[in-house]
Amino acid sequence: MSHLTGGIGAVVGRGIVCEADGLAEWPTPREEGFLRSLVVIPVFNEVSTVERVLRRVRGFAGDVAVIDDASTDGTSEVLSRLSPRLGIRVFVRAQNAGYGRAMQDAFALGARCGYDWVITMDCDEQHEPDWIPRFLCEARGGQFDVISGSRYLNVEDAEGSPPEDRRSINLRITTEINDRLGLSLTDGFCGFKAYRVSAMQGLELSEDGYAFPMQFWVEAVAAGLRIGEIPVRLIYTSANRSFGGGLDNPEVRYGHYRRVLHCALKRRADRLPEGAVDGLLCSPCS
Complete DSSP assignment for 155-222 = -TT-BS---HHHHHHHHHHHHHHHHHHT---S-S----EEEEHHHHTT------STTHHHHHHHHHHH
Residue 159 confidence (pLDDT): 82
Which one has a higher pLDDT value, 281 or 115? 115
Residue 28 confidence (pLDDT): 66
Q: How far apart are the first and last CA of the chain?
A: 38
Asked if residue 122 has pLDDT above 90, the reply is yes
pLDDT digits 0-9 by tens, 257-278: 999 999 999 999 999 999 999 9
Residue 227 confidence (pLDDT): 99
Asked if residue 141 has pLDDT above 50, the reply is yes
pLDDT-derived band at 18 (thresholds 50, 70, 90) equals very low
Asked if residue 16 has pLDDT above 50, the reply is no
CB distance 109 to 65 below 8 Å:
yes
* Paired strand residues for 67: 42, 91
pLDDT-derived band at 19 (thresholds 50, 70, 90) equals very low
Whole-number CA gyration radius for the chain: 18
Number of H helices, E strands in the chain: 8, 8
Asked if residue 7 has pLDDT above 60, the reply is no
Nearest to 5 by CA among 117, 94, 135, 125: 94
Which one has a higher pLDDT value, 153 or 171? 171
Asked if residue 46 has pLDDT above 60, the reply is yes
Residue 20 confidence (pLDDT): 41
- DSSP H helices, the chain, are 50-57, 75-86, 99-112, 132-141, 164-181, 197-200, 212-222, 250-267
pLDDT-derived band at 245 (thresholds 50, 70, 90) equals confident
Asked if residue 13 has pLDDT above 50, the reply is no
Strand duo 146-150 + 63-68: pairing: unpaired
Catalogue all structural domains in the chain, each as residue range(s) with its CATH number.
Answer: 2-271 (3.90.550.10)
Q: How far is C-alpha 240 from the chain's CA centre?
A: 20
The pLDDT of 53-68, averaged and rounded, is: 95
Asked if residue 5 has pLDDT above 60, the reply is no
In the chain, the percentage of residues whose pLDDT exceeds 90 is: 75
The pLDDT of 238-256, averaged and rounded, is: 82
